């Protein structure tokens, strides 16, 4: 039986492009599968709920009830891919909880495949967060997001060896354009007549990367 | 024939988690395939019996008839382990009764393996009970159990106070029971099943249940930590099964 993926975009640092990745991935999955369930665990930062209100629910893990409401919901093999935009404030608590309750083991038992998309930064906090993840999450469930707008082509050695997914840097004016809350990547691809524009190519390149990631998950599971 | 083992779990104050510790002991022995029976002295309605009805009998330890029920059957072949959950406030009187019927002498002479799990509360008054209980402990294993049911510290921040209580008694062994998430604890209470069954997502009759995966995870993690303490004090060696590792998660 096919597994249901859960993509968790995360970073212990704010403003690294985590929500951007979550948006891109959610829209890709919505386009490909027709449905996706997104969860927004954020405080104050621009968040997924602002961009994709129709497919996003807010979640919190500050208390046990919030943890139950989120985790009991996502640990279900219902065929609907899940995307969690995990705010930087919740990074430590989420993975501490995950280890304590045996999230990965239970996920495997129930046919659910968590994939941690760690948005890398050159900061020490980011390195420490990554080191913690390496201890807890197997390499097959970890992907480093190389957001070139943040890392500027210089990937710290600590991240070498991990599976990597590159998000190319956009010029500032295009970044401002896509940061608008009303902007949709898929709608842009559908409506833009000239598919050779830089933004069209950027969106399609990212969608292809996600497709490859999905295929690798399928191959892993088989 | 295996030497009979009697484990008394008691406290001189209520609400310190005595019956919770008894329940973890029964689950531990179950996971290690140690045949066990239990007596719940919270007569007439016992909390321990609610969770382990198949192996628990409610008794009134102040009556001779029930004392005979417990101690005259110790030499039965199986189960060789008896856990007695003593009503709060009655630990010292219960130990005095055991002394009076010659039970403590039998333990001292090695005919019976006797252990006391003394569940401590975080107040000085509770710690004062240690000295009183210690007087009964020759020939017995004495375990001082710090049960962290809230964010207490048992005076570890004040070394002088801590040492005056916890290091006063020779041969007493300290155990730490970590705090369990309150909601997880409540759910187990509502389910009225042993901790092991809750973790396995089963109802009492072994039917599949639908307990929260998060809460089951918290209970599993907590139980592993509690059982690590039991492994550390070599509880299975004490009861004569000789295996030091528990059944795991």
Can you spell out the DSSP letters for chain A?
Answer: -PPEEEEEEE-SSSSSSHHHHHHHHHHHHHHHHS--EEEEE-SSS--HHHH-TTTEEE---SSHHHHHHHHHHHS--SS--EEEEE-GGGHHHHHHHHHHHTHHHHHHHHTEEEEEEEE--SSHHHHHHHHHHHHHS-GGGEEEEEEHHHHTT---GGGTTS-EEEEPPPPHHHHHHHTSTT--HHHHHHH-S-TTSHHHHHHHHHHHHHHHHHHHHHHHH-
Distance CA A63, CA A61 (A): 5
| Residue B225 with chain A: CB contacts under 8 Å | none
> Nearest-CA residue of chain A relative to B213?
A72
Q: Where do we find the tokens 């093999």?
A: A77
**With bands split at pLDDT 50, 70 and 90, how would you rate the model's confidence at B102?**
confident
Interchain proximity A106–B220, CB inside 8 Å? no
The beta-carbon neighbor of A102 closest among B182, B215, B217 is B217
> Count of A–B CB contacts within 8 Å?
37
Interchain proximity A101–B217, CB inside 8 Å? yes
Interchain proximity A67–B214, CB inside 8 Å? yes
CA R_g for chain A? 17
Q: Of B221, B39, B7, which Cα lies nearest the Cα of B114?
A: B7
| Residue B209 with chain A: CB contacts under 8 Å | none
Q: How far is CA B216 from CA A100, A168, B45, B204, in A?
A: 10, 42, 27, 15
> Nearest-CA residue of chain A relative to B224?
A100
Q: Is the pLDDT of residue B244 over 50?
A: no
The reply to whether B209 falls in a domain is no
Q: Is the pLDDT of residue B245 over 50?
A: no
Tell me the average confidence (pLDDT) per consecutive run of 10 residues in chain A, 222 residues long.
92 94 98 96 82 95 95 95 96 96 95 96 94 95 94 85 93 95 96 93 97 89 69
Q: What is the pLDDT of residue B240?
A: 81
Domain assignment of residue B153, given as a range:
5-180+220-238
How many domains does chain B contain in total?
1
- C-alpha B68 chain-centroid distance: 21
Chain A 73-102, residues with CB within 8 Å of chain B CB atoms: 75, 97, 100-102
Q: Is A6 in the B-facing interface, judged by CB distances under 8 Å?
A: no
Q: What is the pLDDT of residue B87?
A: 87
CATH number of the CATH domain containing B122: 3.40.50.300
The reply to whether B111 falls in a domain is yes
Instruction: List pLDDT tens digits, range B60-91.
Output: 877 888 888 888 887 766 778 999 999 888 88
| Residue B249 with chain A: CB contacts under 8 Å | 102
Residues 6+ apart with CB under 8 A from B151: B179
Q: Which of B181, B214, B249 to mutate to test the interface with A (most CBs of A within 10 A)?
A: B214
Distance CA B105, CA B43 (A): 27
| Residue B182 with chain A: CB contacts under 8 Å | 64
Instruction: List pLDDT tens digits, range B103-159.
Output: 889 888 988 999 999 998 777 666 677 777 877 888 889 999 988 876 666 766 677
The tokens for A27 are 């829209």
The reply to whether B118 falls in a domain is yes
Name the CATH superfamily for A4-221.
Answer: P-loop containing nucleotide triphosphate hydrolases (3.40.50.300)
Interchain proximity A71–B221, CB inside 8 Å? no
> Nearest-CA residue of chain A relative to B201?
A106
How much is the ipTM here?
0.86
Cβ A1 vs Cβ A77: under 8 Å: yes
The reply to whether B74 falls in a domain is yes
The tokens for B38 are 């239990």
Element (H, E) at B81: strand B81-85
Of A118-132, B7-21, B205-219, which range is least confident?
A: B7-21
Q: Is A103 in the B-facing interface, judged by CB distances under 8 Å?
A: yes
Strands B56-58 and B36-40, sheet pairing: parallel
The reply to whether B39 falls in a domain is yes
Interchain proximity A101–B249, CB inside 8 Å? no
The reply to whether B215 falls in a domain is no
pTM of the predicted structure, to 2 decimals: 0.88
Counted residue by residue, chain B has a size of: 249
Packing angle, helices A91-101 and A103-110, rounded to 10: 60
The reply to whether B47 falls in a domain is yes
Minimal CA separation from A71 to chain B, in Å:
7
Strands B113-120 and A56-58, sheet pairing: unpaired
> Nearest-CA residue of chain A relative to B184?
A64
Chain B 150-209, residues with CB within 8 Å of chain A CB atoms: 181-184
């Amino acid at each position: 039986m096919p597994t249901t993926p859960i993509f968790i975009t995360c970073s212990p640092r704010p403003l690294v492009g985590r929500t951007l990745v979550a948006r891109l991935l959610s829209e890709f999955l919505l386009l490909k599968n027709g449905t996706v369930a997104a969860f927004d665990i954020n405080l104050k930062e621009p968040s997924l709920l602002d961009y994709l209100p129709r497919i996003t629910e807010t979640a919190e893990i500050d208390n046990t009830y919030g943890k139950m409401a989120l985790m009991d919901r996502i640990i279900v093999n219902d065929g609907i891919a899940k995307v969690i935009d995990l705010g930087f404030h919740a990074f430590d608590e989420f993975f501490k909880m995950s280890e304590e309750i045996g999230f990965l083991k239970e996920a495997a038992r129930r046919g659910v495949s968590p994939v941690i998309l760690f948005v890398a930064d050159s900061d020490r906090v980011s390195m420490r967060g990554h080191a913690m993840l390496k201890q807890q999450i197997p390499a097959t469930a970890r992907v480093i997001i190389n957001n070139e707008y943040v890392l500027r082509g210089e990937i710290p050695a600590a991240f070498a060896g991990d599976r990597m997914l590159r998000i190319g840097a956009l010029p500032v004016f295009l970044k401002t354009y896509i940061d608008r809350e009303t902007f949709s990547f898929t709608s842009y691809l559908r409506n833009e007549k000239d598919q050779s524009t830089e933004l069209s190519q950027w969106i399609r390149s990212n969608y292809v990367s996600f497709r490859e990631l999905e295929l690798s998950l399928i191959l892993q599971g088989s | 024939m295996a030497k009979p083992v009697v484990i008394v779990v008691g406290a001189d104050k209520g609400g310190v988690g005595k019956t919770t510790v008894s329940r973890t002991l029964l689950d531990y022995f179950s996971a290690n395939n140690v045949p066990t029976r239990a007596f719940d002295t919270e007569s007439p309605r016992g909390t321990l019996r609610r969770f382990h009805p198949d192996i628990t009998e409610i008794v009134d330890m102040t009556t001779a008839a029930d004392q005979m029920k417990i101690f005259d059957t110790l030499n039965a072949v199986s189960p060789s382990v008896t856990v007695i959950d003593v009503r709060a406030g009655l630990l010292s009187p219960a130990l005095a009764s055991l002394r009076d019927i010659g039970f403590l002498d039998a333990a001292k002479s090695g005919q019976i393996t006797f252990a006391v799990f003394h569940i401590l509360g975080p107040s000085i008054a509770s710690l004062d009970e240690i000295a009183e209980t210690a007087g009964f402990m020759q020939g017995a294993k004495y375990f001082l159990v710090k049960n962290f049911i809230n964010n207490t510290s048992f005076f570890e921040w004040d070394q002088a106070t801590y040492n005056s209580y916890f290091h006063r008694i020779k041969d007493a062994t300290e155990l730490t029971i970590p705090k369990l998430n309150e909601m997880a604890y409540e759910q187990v209470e509502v389910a009225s099943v042993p901790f092991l069954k809750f973790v396995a997502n089963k109802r009492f009759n072994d039917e599949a249940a639908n307990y929260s995966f998060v809460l089951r995870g918290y209970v599993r993690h907590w139980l592993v930590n509690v059982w690590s303490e039991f492994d550390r004090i070599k509880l299975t060696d004490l009861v004569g099964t000789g295996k030091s590792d528990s059944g795991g998660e």
